[in-house]
Each structure stands twice: as C-alpha cells, then as structure tokens.
C-alpha cells in the first residue's frame, strides 16, 4: 500500500526496451509506465516506434532486450498461452485498422470476447449492443465489416476492446479514421470509461486533439522516449 505522498504504483511498466525488425531497430531503450485509471498518450513521428512499443506492452511481441512488467509479473518472460489469456481477460487492444472478423456482424464482433469467456450468447449480444450505443454505432450492429465505413469499423473495434471491462486498453490511432466530431465522441467515451472503471489506457496518436484527452504525454524519437509531459 502506498503511503501518503507517494506516487501510485504503475500497472504497466516498460524499462529500456530494444526491438529490431530485421535490420531496423524500432525501439532503442524506450521506457514508459502507465497507472490504473490513467490515459497516457504516446506521440512521435511516423517510424519512431510507437506501434512497436504498444505491441511490446500488450504482450503481442517480445522485446529483444529490456523488461515489461504488468501487475508485478514480467510479461516478456511469460509463455504465449498465458499472454493469450491476459489479452482475453485483462487487456483490450484496438489496432489502427480495426481488424474485425469479416464474417461476423458488428454486434457479434463486439460480443466475441464475452463468448470466449463463457458468457451466454443472448447476454453477450445485449452487452455488446450497449457498448455499440455508447460509441454511437448501435444502428450498425447487424452490418458486417465490409458494409461499414472506416470510422464505423473503428467504433466497433473500440467497443470490442472495452466490452469485457479490461484493466488496460492499448489503442493504436483510435480516431485516425474519424472526423473531428466522431473523434471527440469516441475519446470522451473512452476517457470516461477509463476514469470511472480505473482502466489504464495507452494511446498511440498523431493528433494533438486526441492527445489532449490524456493525463500525460510521452514522445518517442528514433525509438527512445523523451520526458513525459502532463497534459491535464
């Protein structure tokens, strides 16, 4: 337990991450942490390593060097089976282009994590519909991804990431396909969810308006993190 005056213990912490893709070193000693209920924006130029950092923190890829700690355990040392479990139960991931399952309707895409966790189909679809409505996408619930615009698909992806009540959400350019009004609606819902439920959010973005919803901003430059800035 923290004593009065101490900073909260990070839920997720990365230290000195190094990751190469072939000869390209995407991360060069990046360090970052995010606390429960906090929104952390990671910004930087294209190619600075932002998405690679997100993938390391979410346990999708393993760093070549350095460590990633979640809730006191080393993610980078866990077996793949345990990492897959965490991505179903504790983590929600929103990829830049949604990555919805094309054969499923919007509501079934959102309900899928609940079904995998053992929720009945009726209850899963009802809860999925509530999340689609929260993100302004209930009218598209019976459409398949091929029938959705890019912005609509991204709202469905956000609803899918949050439907299980994860402890951490990793969002890669969640408003990239949205106009300014829709982006504001999505970020407002995401921020309220994070703060009401204590969910940690790691947000990758190029958009200053999106980054403004974060509590702190960390900039990546050539795969290394610069000093964090308080944004709110």
pLDDT at 166 over 80: yes
Q: CA-CA distance, 186 to 201, in Å (whole number)? A: 13
Return the sign of the alpha-carbon dihedral for residues 62, 37, 175, 208.
negative
Tokens of 118: 């053992």
pTM for the whole thing? 0.87
Count H helices, E strands: the chain? 7, 11
Cα(58)–Cα(93) distance, integer angstroms: 8
Predicted pLDDT of residue 230: 60
pLDDT at 1: 44
Q: Is the pLDDT of residue 40 over 50?
A: yes
Structure confidence at residue 96 (pLDDT): 72
Structure-token match 């040392």, residue found: 77
CB atoms within 10 A of CB 91: 24
Please give the helix or strand (H or E) that residue 105 lies within, else none. Answer: none
Give the pLDDT score at 103: 96
Runs of H (alpha helix) within the chain: 50-57, 80-89, 106-116, 121-134, 150-162, 180-197, 208-211
Cα gap 165→169, rounded to integer Å: 9
**Residue with more model confidence, 99 or 103:** 103
Q: Is the pLDDT of residue 213 over 90?
A: yes
Helix axes of 180-197 and 150-162: crossing angle, nearest 10 degrees = 0
């Amino acid at each position: 337990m923290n004593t009065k005056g101490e900073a909260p213990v990070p839920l997720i912490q990365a230290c000195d991450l190094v990751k190469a893709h072939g000869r390209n070193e995407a991360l060069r000693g990046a360090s970052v942490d995010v606390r429960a209920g906090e929104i952390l924006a990671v910004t930087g130029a294209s190619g600075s390593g932002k998405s690679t950092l997100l993938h390391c923190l979410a346990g999708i890829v393993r760093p070549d060097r350095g460590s990633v700690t979640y809730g006191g355990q080393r993610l980078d040392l866990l077996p793949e089976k345990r990492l897959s479990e965490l991505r179903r139960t504790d983590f929600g991931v929103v990829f830049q282009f949604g990555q919805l399952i094309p054969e499923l309707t919007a509501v079934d895409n959102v309900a899928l994590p609940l079904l995998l966790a053992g929720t009945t189909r009726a209850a899963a679809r009802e809860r999925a519909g509530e999340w689609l409505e929260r993100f302004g996408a209930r009218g598209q619930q019976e459409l398949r991804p091929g029938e959705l615009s890019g912005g609509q698909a991204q709202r469905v992806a956000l609803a899918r990431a949050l439907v299980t009540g994860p402890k951490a959400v990793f969002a890669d350019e969640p408003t990239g396909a949205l106009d300014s009004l829709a982006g504001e609606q999505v970020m407002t819902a995401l921020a309220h969810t994070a703060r009401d439920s204590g969910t940690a959010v790691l947000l990758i973005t190029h958009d200053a308006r999106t980054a403004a919803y974060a509590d702190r901003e960390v900039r990546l430059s050539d795969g290394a993190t610069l000093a964090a800035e308080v944004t709110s």
